């Protein structure tokens, strides 16, 4: 009789130890996931340092506004040289349009799967977890 109570007590100790270990491991994994998600870190940084981010955006906008505009390329022979770049770019655009039409269903499927997994992960994180 004493042996069965010792075994039962030891079993309870082991199960509580396993449960505590499981909880600590899940917390460590959650902390690791949160620390490696760059989007959340940038978002938190933006919330904490909004004036620094706005100032940096203003400075970058000012620098980009002060950059000189792009110069147009000149052609020596204006009769046929002006039509050449337009014809080349039109051909490339047509080729890209055909390639996009061919791969569009595949791209849509991949994008739909990515959105579904993102939404599932996002809503799973927001709901309370049971450990």
pLDDT of residue 38: 75
**86 and 62 in a common domain:** no
Q: With b meaning 16 or more CB within 10 Å and e meaning fewer, what string describes 69-93? A: eeeeeeeeeeeeeeeeeeeeeeeee
**1 and 28 in a common domain:** yes
- When divided into structural domains, the chain yields a total of 2
pLDDT, averaged across the chain: 80
Q: What one-character DSSP code corresponds to residue 1?
A: -
**87 and 61 in a common domain:** no
**105 and 59 in a common domain:** no
Instruction: Place 76 in a pLDDT band, splitting at 50, 70 and 90.
Output: low
Single residue among 40, 66, 92 that ends a domain in this structure? 66
Q: Give the domain range for residue 51.
A: 1-66
Q: Is residue 130 part of a domain?
A: no
CB 75 within 8 A of CB 82: yes
As a whole-number percent, the residues of the chain with pLDDT over 90 amount to 13
**55 and 1 in a common domain:** yes
Helices marked H in 1-82: 2-36, 38-48, 50-66, 78-81
Query: Is pLDDT of 2 > 60?
Result: yes
**2 and 45 in a common domain:** yes
pLDDT of residue 101: 86
pLDDT of residue 126: 61
**90 and 60 in a common domain:** no
Query: Is pLDDT of 1 > 70?
Result: no
**52 and 13 in a common domain:** yes
**99 and 47 in a common domain:** no
Q: Is residue 87 part of a domain?
A: yes
Cα–Cα distance for residue pair 31/78, rounded to 1 Å? 64
Q: What is the pLDDT of residues 27-69, one digit of tens each?
A: 888 888 777 777 777 888 888 988 998 999 999 999 988 888 7
pLDDT of residue 129: 54
Q: Is residue 131 part of a domain?
A: no
């Amino acid at each position: 009789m004493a042996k069965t109570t010792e075994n039962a007590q030891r079993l309870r100790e082991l199960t509580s130890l396993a449960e505590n270990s499981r909880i600590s491991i899940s917390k460590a994994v959650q902390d690791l996931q949160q620390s490696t998600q760059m989007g959340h870190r940038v978002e938190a940084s933006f919330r904490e340092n909004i004036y620094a981010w706005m100032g940096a955006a203003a400075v970058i906008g000012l620098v980009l506004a002060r950059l000189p505009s792009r110069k147009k390329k000149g052609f020596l022979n204006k009769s046929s040289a002006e039509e050449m770049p337009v014809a080349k770019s039109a051909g490339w655009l047509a080729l890209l349009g055909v390639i996009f039409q061919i791969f569009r269903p595949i791209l849509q499927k991949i994008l739909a799967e990515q959105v579904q997994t993102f939404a599932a992960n996002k809503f799973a994180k927001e709901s309370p977890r049971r450990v």
